[in-house]
Amino acid sequence: MPPHKPAAVEGVIDFGRSVLPRYVQLATLFRGRIRSGDWSLNAQIPTVDDLSAQYAVARATIRQALGLLEEEGLISRQRAKGTFVTHRPQSKLWCEVSSDLSGLLRAREGAVIELLSEERQVQPRSAFEPSGKLAPAYRHLRRRHWRDTQPYLLADVYIDENLCPRIPRAAFKSKPALQLISDIPGMKIVEACQTLTIGQADVATASLLQVPLNAPIAFVHRWAADKNGRVVLIADGIYRGDVVRLDVQLK
Residue ranges, comma separated, of all CATH 3.40.1410.10 domains in the chain are 95-246
Upper half-sphere CA count for residue 70 (Cβ side, 13 Å): 13
pLDDT band per the 50, 70, 90 thresholds, residue 37: confident
Q: Give the residue with greater pLDDT, 101 vs 33.
A: 33
Q: What is the pTM of this model?
A: 0.66
Q: Which fold has domain 15-85?
A: Arc Repressor Mutant, subunit A (1.10.10)
pLDDT band per the 50, 70, 90 thresholds, residue 46: very high
In this prediction, residue 16 carries a pLDDT of 57
Measure the CA angle with vertex 154, ends 145 and 250; round to 5°: 85
Q: Does CATH place domain 95-246 in 3.40.1410.10?
A: yes
Share of the chain above pLDDT 90, in %: 51
In this prediction, residue 31 carries a pLDDT of 85
pLDDT band per the 50, 70, 90 thresholds, residue 142: very high
In this prediction, residue 62 carries a pLDDT of 95
Neighbours of 236 (CB within 10 A): 21
Mean pLDDT of 159-178: 94
In this prediction, residue 42 carries a pLDDT of 93
Mean pLDDT of 16-27: 74
In this prediction, residue 7 carries a pLDDT of 35
Over its C-alpha atoms, the chain yields an Rg (Å, rounded) of 23
In this prediction, residue 148 carries a pLDDT of 76
Instruction: Say if residues 89 and 34 touch (Cβ distance below 8 Å).
Output: yes
In this prediction, residue 105 carries a pLDDT of 45
Query: Residue 191 phi/psi, 5° resolution?
Result: -150, 135
Task: Find residue 235's DSSP bridge partners.
Answer: 157, 222
In this prediction, residue 106 carries a pLDDT of 55
DSSP per residue, 49-86: HHHHHHHT--HHHHHHHHHHHHHTTSEEEETTTEEEE-
In this prediction, residue 4 carries a pLDDT of 38
Residue 50 pLDDT > 70: yes
Residue ranges, comma separated, of all CATH 1.10.10.10 domains in the chain are 15-85
Residue 191 pLDDT > 50: yes
pLDDT band per the 50, 70, 90 thresholds, residue 2: very low
